[in-house]
Chain A
Amino acid sequence: METKPKLAMYWAASCGGCEIALVNIHEKIFDVMDSFDFMFCPCLMDTKYHDIEALADGSIAITFFNGALRTDENIHMARLLRQKSQLLIAFGSCAAEGCIPGLGNLSSRQDLMDRIYRDSLTLDDHQGPLPATSTGVVEGNLTLPEFLPVVKTLGQVVAVDYSIPGCPPESHQVWNCVNAVIQGHPLGAKGAILGGGRSTVCAECVRTRTEKKIRTLYRTYEILPDAETCLLEQGLLCMGVVTRDGCGGLCPRVNMPCTGCYGPPEGVLDQGAKMISALGSMLDLEDAGEVNVDDYARRMDVLLEGIPDLAGTLYKYSLAGSILGGKRTP
């Protein structure tokens, strides 16, 4: 009789990258199999929802939950897995803070539906049926999960024990977490972030920083940055200053600015607001000697032309989990 503790991994609104991050621990996956009964993972195996429903409460030792909550099916599974799991871990940026699905909160549900099913240029029929929770066809009744008005993070719907940041989490960090459980090491206080540092990506970045003064902002395709100097100082909107470390500073190493996937660092609630705070100190608008608010506003407008989607840039991964959570609702 199998007596190993049960391990589950579920995806809600996600891309599958988190599952790849898990199997990217390579041969160590055998250690996971030795220590756990890996019994539920829709991406990799064929366990059904009713198998989970049949379990006694708390009978899954650990559930890695990746994906944001976009539909009522996602919410149902979040509640079900919370009930059946001893430890529910928000695995990856989507579950922890909304990530790319969370950017849906910049538009209303109606806008999203219109864009996809009414206005899209490649549609043959712009008046076709919209997805509905229940549709009658000759063969019977077809059902779909309800598309919720806003995207939520896992922690906004159920109690989450720990979070692992990253889009996706770096595999060595996943292994650190899994191994800590296998070895029986304490995981820290409830609600803690696992597999990440306490500082910012700058702490792991190998580039040289001097006094940060930015006169122009560029998009990544516009310049070829030099390999040594801080990318932010070169005018690329690198989010490293407001992003948790733990990834190893991988993007700046290959001349790409950090886009912020490890979420806000310790003590920061809102990545976008913190980036505005940082940019406010770094942007150099002082052309003339005297400070003139109107001149500043004109200079800022020119700078902002280089960032066509400011909210999408500052909250690429963290909009649903940010202070406002998205665009205001009617």
Chain B
Amino acid sequence: MNGLQDVAHFDPKILVFLCNWCSYAASDKAGMAQQAQPSQIRTVRVMCTGRVDPQFVLHAFRKGADGVVILGCHPGDCHYKEGNVHAIKRHLLLLALLRQLGIEDQRCRLDFVSAGENDRYVRILSEVVEQVRVLGPIHFPRVD
């Protein structure tokens, strides 16, 4: 359906949940280093990826996000010991549910970025923006 031109013109909106203890600092570091970052992202700081209720992700899609990214501490490094482990399990279940609702895995990514990994932060977000740009926009049943 999408011609090449449509892909080039589609500007996806990506909502990014950042863990206060790691990826938020990486984002800050990328900013201070004046690294080029995709302009399609909107960030939300949370205290832990374990705080990201799957309802938040669904709400983001309902409100017009074309992709959602959750960036937490590497496994074993969680500030609260196992918040990111809960996040991994939730995310695997959520992906299975989203697949059944017609949402591709690439639109909802959980990944791990420590406070020093500003390059990795920029790389992951750039990848998601490009993947979602190819996938195109999504729509849900109108309920109003």
B residues contacting A by CB (< 8 A) are 53-55, 57-59, 61-62, 75-76, 85-94, 96-97, 100-103, 138-144
Contact = CB atoms under 8 A, between A and B. Distances in A.
Contact of B143 (A292, A300, A304, A325): A325
Chain A, interface size category, equals: 35 or more
A292 B89 CA distance: 11
A327 interface: yes
Given A291-B85, A296-B89, A324 B96 contact: no
Given A156-B144, A324-B140, A280 B101 contact: no
Nearest to B92: A300
B55 A310 contact: no
A143 interface: no
Given A270-B55, A291-B75, A276 B94 contact: yes
A276 B93 contact: yes
B54 to A, nearest CB: 4
Nearest to B52: A277
Contacts, number: 114
Contact of B141 (A279, A309, A311, A325): A325
Contacts of A296: 88-89, 92
Contacts of A272: 97
A328 interface: yes
Contact of A329 (B55, B75, B141): B141
Contacts of B143: 150, 152-153, 156, 320, 325
A53 B94 CA distance: 46
B54 A290 contact: no
